[in-house]
Chains A and B, each alone.
Chain A
Amino acid sequence: MKPFSYARPTTAADVLKLLSPTARPKAGGNDLLDLAKRGVSTPATLVDLSRISVQEGGPRFDGVTVAEGGQLEIGARVTLAQIAASADVLRIFPALADAAAAAATPQIRNVATLGGNLLQRPRCAYFRDPFFDCLKRGGTSCPARDGVHDEMAIFGNAKCCATHPSNLATALLAAPQAGLATITVEIGAKGGLVWRTVELSDGFFVRPEDDPLIEAAIAPGELLWAAFVPAAPVSAYVEINQKQSYDWASVACAVVLDVEGDKIADARIALGAVAPVPLLSEPAAAALRGKGLRDTAAWDAAAAAATQGATPLARNGHKVRQLRAVVRRAIEAAVARSK
């Protein structure tokens, strides 16, 4: 790693004043250090987030809380291990606990945070090696498309075929109206702190066609602060890995079902590791709406529908079959959580 300096603010305001394209916030630091060690990222300053206190009056940066109305608030600094073990998460939105438990390794889950997981950069080998010309690093082409792309995107891969690496993002996307709070310093004379919320399914994820340099609509001077998740107890997240001990998902799926009686009134199905951003599959959801909860033909139809429009590359066609399987299994796992 190149040398960097290390700022230790104790308030969110100070953090925000320090942040810049070369001064990056550091929480768990797993992705940040990996990128720095590979020479992909060379921050001049790391801004430590571990000492800032919880803001009075705003959502919390730490902890899992249950708000009025039963929705979950999860601070961006909460670790994956805490999410996976949280009884509240398991009760209110179990898909998120599934996703957190499936991530990385026990050691990494003890350190990695919700915010870092959502904002981590793709695992594409070409992106993570400064040797290559890569769109995501301001280059002109995608070497993976004509290179080795066995694990890469089967949707939305025309420009860049890196997949979005966050399984928590996939889970959150499946929750209706799940939102993120970010915090920034208002531009202008007052320079006050400004919160904004953004719905995950409405503009948080950035496709390479729109801007290949980023995956999330967070400005350099802005900090991801918390996530809000309405209750979605009939939900599950499932991923398929080649290796069962620490591997990135080949395909992933989160399913949220709105169950009325023994019918599926509504469904949301999010697909992970198959596109540069997590995707909501409306055709898959449509195949379940109004169907019986245990109508396995409808599950199969939804699984097949989820693969509609896939554009696999020369070496990753197998992911289409895997996607069908993981959607089917995620539906089954969600149904198992309905009483």
Chain B
Amino acid sequence: MTERRGVSRRGFLKGLGAAAVTGPVGFAGIAMAAKADEEAAAVPVLGPGATPVRLKVNGKVHDLSIEPRVTLLDALRDTIGLTGPKEVCDRGACGGCTVLLDGMAVCGCMMLAIDVGDREVTTVEGLCGPDGAPSDLQQQFVAKDALQCGYCTCGMVTAAEGLLRSKPVLSPDEVRAGISGNLCRCGTYTRIVEAVIATSALRRKGK
């Protein structure tokens, strides 16, 4: 390992106004001995074998027994049996596995199931109405033909839903930026933008 380079307190001070000194420098070298000295309760270490993991998915609680290495995507597909989130690139580069965590779009392939904790997972299935009816956004995807082979569609719809929740009014460029983590090999982007804009307009009218 590299030898620890100088803490550079001197360098850090250099040129800083007096008022700023209360900032970083204030912390340098402070030993929080009291806390560290306390005999910590044993830290739970799970796995590497199967361990209990509770997931809240589309409003339902699932108690699973999975290894810590299992990604959220694999848990959703292989253990819970959902089909919406797809594995495409397995590296967070395509968005095919997009799900919402407390309403925020994330890639299921780059998150461990064990890391989800109490957060509510919503997949494309969970965007439907209670009777399985397509949501307004899903209907617009169909109406505008914003899908071809359909393999990217679940991730696209979910990413777009996350986008609409964070920003209800969007320009076409903002839609493109907002779904820029999703790839479509059939080339449906033009119509996805139309579908998202149309949904945004419908939701505003509905309010």
CB atoms of A105 and B67 under 8 A apart: no
A140 proximal to B (CB < 8 A): no
Residues 157-186 of B, flagged 1 when their CB comes within 8 A of A and 0 if not, give: 001001100000000000011111111000
Q: How many angstroms between the C-alpha atoms of A8 and B29 in the bound complex?
A: 27
| Inter-chain contact A194/B29, CB cutoff 8 Å | yes
Q: Are B15 and A176 in contact (CB under 8 A)?
A: yes
Contact check: which of A8, A30, A34 meets B44 at CB < 8 Å?
A8
Decide yes or no: A219 and B32 within 8 Å by CB, A2-B69, A4-B48, A199-B12 being known contacts: no
Q: Which residue of B lies closest to A71 (CB)?
A: B23
Closest-by-CB residue of B relative to A38 is B91
B167 → chain A closest CB, angstroms: 10
B101 to chain A, nearest CB (A): 8
Q: B27, A217: Cβ atoms under 8 Å?
A: no
What is the CA–CA distance of A321 and B24 in the complex, to the nearest angstrom?
Answer: 38
CB distance from A74 to the nearest CB of B (A): 12
Q: Which residue of B lies closest to A85 (CB)?
A: B166
Query: Contact at B115–A29, with CB atoms within 8 Å?
Result: yes
Contact B23 A67 (CB under 8 A): yes
B91 with A34: CB separation less than 8 A = yes
Binds A, one of B102-110, B123-131, B146-154, B196-204: B102-110
In the assembled complex, B61 has its CB within 8 A of some CB on chain A: no
Whole-angstrom distance between the Cβ of B43 and the nearest chain A Cβ: 5
Please report the C-alpha to C-alpha distance between residue A206 and residue B1 in the assembled complex, in whole angstroms. Answer: 11
Q: How far is the CA of A212 from the CA of B36 in the complex (A)?
A: 33
B23 CB contacts on chain A under 8 angstroms: 67-69, 71, 73, 228
**Residues from 171 to 225 in A contacting B, C-beta threshold 8 Å:** 176-177, 179, 181, 185-186, 190-199, 201-204, 206, 210-211, 214, 217, 219-220
Nearest CB of A to B190, in Å: 14
Question: How distant is the Cα of A198 from the Cα of B29 in the complex, in angstroms?
Answer: 11
Whether the pair B48, A197 counts as a contact (CB closer than 8 A) is no
For A6, the chain B residues whose CB sits under 8 A away are 45-47, 51, 68, 112, 114
A33: interface (CB < 8 Å): yes
Q: A29-B115, A68-B22, A228-B24 are in contact. Are A197 and B9 (CB under 8 A)?
A: yes
B107 CB contact (under 8 Å) in A108, A185, A220: A108
CB <8 Å contact, A108 and B181: yes
- Which residue of the partner chain A has the closest CB to B6? A203
Establish whether residues B95 and A105, one from each chain, have CB atoms under 8 Å apart when the complex forms. yes
Q: Which residue of A lies closest to B109 (CB)?
A: A33
Identify which of A71, A107, A196 contacts B159 (C-beta below 8 A). Answer: A107
CA A214 to CA B5, docked complex, whole Å: 13
In the complex, which residues 1-17 of chain A have their Cβ closer than 8 Å to any Cβ of chain B? 1-14, 16-17
Give the residues in chain A near B206, CB-CB below 8 Å: none
Cross-chain contact B8 with A193 (CB below 8 angstroms): no
Which of B33, B45, B93, B181 is A106 in contact with, Cβ under 8 Å? B181
Residues of A within 8 A of B110 (CB): 29-30, 33-34, 108, 111
**With an 8 A cutoff between CB atoms, is A230 at the interface?**
yes
Specify the chain A residue showing the minimal Cβ separation from B99.
A107
Pick from A45-53, A162-170, A303-311 the stretch touching chain B: A45-53
Digitize B19-52: 1 where CB-to-A-CB distance is under 8 Å, 0 elsewhere: 1111111011111111111101001111111010
Out of B34, B35, B92, which one reaches A107, CB within 8 Å?
B92
Q: How far is the CA of A9 from the CA of B6 in the complex (A)?
A: 29
- Cβ contacts B70-81/A at 8 Å (1 or 0 each): 010000000000
Q: Hey, which chain A residues are within 8 Å of B68, CB to CB?
A: 3-6, 46
A48-B115, A71-B23, A197-B28 known; A7+B45 contact, CB < 8 A: yes
A68, B19: Cβ atoms under 8 Å? yes
Known: A3-B48, A18-B43, A214-B2. A190 touches B33 (CB 8 A): yes
Q: Tell whether, in the assembled complex, residue B1 and residue A105 are in contact, meaning their CB atoms are under 8 Å apart.
A: no
Q: Identify A245's interface contact among B111, B112, B180, CB under 8 A.
A: B180
- Inter-subunit contact B25/A7 (CB<8 Å): no
Residues in B neighbouring A219, C-beta threshold 8 A: 1, 4
- Interfacial residues, chain B to chain A (CB-CB below 8 A): 1-2, 4-9, 11-12, 14-17, 19-25, 27-38, 40, 43-49, 51, 67-69, 71, 90-93, 95, 98, 101, 104-107, 110-112, 114-115, 117, 159, 162-163, 176-183
Q: Assuming A45-B45, A71-B23, A202-B8, what are 12 further A-B pairs, CB within 8 angstroms?
A: A1-B69, A3-B49, A6-B114, A7-B45, A29-B111, A106-B105, A106-B179, A111-B107, A176-B15, A196-B28, A197-B27, A230-B20
10 closest A-B pairs (Cβ-Cβ)?
Answer: A105-B181, A192-B33, A203-B5, A69-B19, A6-B68, A3-B48, A245-B180, A192-B31, A69-B20, A193-B32
